[in-house]
Amino acid sequence: MQRHLISAADLTRDDAVLILDTAEEMARVADRPIKKLPTLRGRTVVNLFFEDSTRTRISFEAAEKRLSADVINFTAKGSSVSKGESLKDTAQTLEAMGVDAVVIRHGASGAPYRLATSGWIDAHVINAGDGTHQHPTQALLDAFTMRRRLVGRDTGLGQDLNGRRITLVGDVLHSRVARSNVDLLHTLGAEVTLVAPPTLLPVGVETWPCEVSYDLDSTLPKSDAVMMLRVQRERMNAAFFPTEREYSRRYGLDGDRMARMPEHAIVMHPGPMVRGMEITAEVADSDRCTVVEQVANGVSIRMAVLYLLLGGAEFQTPSTSAAPARTAEENR
């Protein structure tokens, strides 16, 4: 039985639907006066964050506390990591403390996989984002939001996203969110299209289970959901487009472009948004934009993942996906 959540590609359709359905149950806890379940009482969960984070870290912490887990927050800044401590030594320190699960975000692609398979620690490992590789819980909360909006809360139970047309727009090259969403949405039966300038598409994208387009205007009328991706300047070491103005003109979503989308279509963004570049304030503040809803759904999804890994049934899949080409050891 699978003990970790490292990649969205590890999940079968049944795994993903089980998580989405469990999250629907967890969402009802948020409507209670006391938002607590005793499921993980006595379990210790460490949030091991080597990269800056607001939404993901707070979302995981809220999910853990609502399940009554004992929570330890670790950030690289101010820890022994800043003195040169390796991931292995940090993991063995946590193992000595008897933690039950580790939620890890790391700048090196492959760090969560290395932690889960190295034997350094005997705890469940949940990937909260590793380099440009994967961010599986973000893909799950995005799929959860799509299913709620496009299928329905009650009618969506047990259902996937078969036949839904999803468009991801922007910096695909540096986006772990894009990779995770392509994997998961394909598993759930959706038709995915990536829209980006050629310089912001990764090598080998033609092998991904999706379509590729360079023309945003032609894809919008056919989309059930449009997800705008942030241009990740902190990961860039070259000029990938001439100017911000030109990027916004070709690949930004404004009110005029939103009007070309079908009436039922929604606008999504994993956050943080750069208003005025990939998305205008008019679109970001519209009723069709699900950004705030995605944050709320993130707590429910992460509660579901923690429950299934630590407190409930295991996932159905026995295998773990292969590690990316560059591991944490190679990136050090």
Return the pLDDT at 262: 96
Q: What is the mean pLDDT of residues 136-160?
A: 95
**Which carries the bigger pLDDT value, residue 314 or residue 310?**
310
- DSSP code per residue over 193-243: EEE--GGGS-TTGGGSSSEEES-HHHHGGG-SEEEE----GGG--S--SS-
Question: Is pLDDT of 161 > 90?
Answer: yes
Res. 328 pLDDT band, cuts 50 70 90: very low
Instruction: Give the per-residue pLDDT at 312.
Output: 60
- Report pLDDT for 82: 62
Query: Would you place residue 234 in the very low, low, confident or very high pLDDT band (cuts 50, 70, 90)?
Result: low
Q: How far apart are the C-alpha atoms of 168 and 177, rounded to whole Å? A: 10
Query: pLDDT for 252-267, tens place per residue?
Result: 999 999 999 999 999 9
Average pLDDT over residues 11-31: 94
Mean pLDDT of 59-83: 85
Predicted local confidence at residue 238, as pLDDT: 61
**In the chain, % of residues over pLDDT 90:** 71
Which pLDDT score is estimated for 235? 57
Reply yes or no on whether the pLDDT at 17 is more than 90: yes
pLDDT of 152 above 60: yes
Could you list the residues known to form a binding site, using ranges: 55-56, 83, 105, 135, 138, 176, 230, 271-272
Q: Would the pLDDT of 326 be above 50?
A: no
Q: Residues marked as binding for carbamoyl phosphate?
A: 55-56, 105, 135, 138, 271-272
Q: Which positions make up the binding site for L-aspartate?
A: 83, 176, 230
**pLDDT value at 240 more than 80:** no
Check: CB of residue 168 under 8 Å from CB of residue 190: no
Most confident range (mean pLDDT) of 47-51, 187-191, 273-277, 319-323 is 187-191
**Which of the two residues, 311 and 118, has the higher pLDDT score?**
118
pLDDT at position 79 is 66
pLDDT over 70 percentage in the chain: 89
Q: What is the mean pLDDT of the chain?
A: 89
Closest listed residue to residue 308, CA positions, set 7, 67, 35: 67
pLDDT of the residue at 80: 66
DSSP secondary-structure letter at 132?
A: T
Long-range contacts of 211-216 (CB under 8 A, 24+ apart): 216/169, 216/250, 216/251, 216/253, 216/257
- pLDDT for the residue numbered 325: 46
Tell me what pLDDT residue 54 has: 85
Full 3-state SS string of 277-294: CCECHHHHCCCCECHHHH
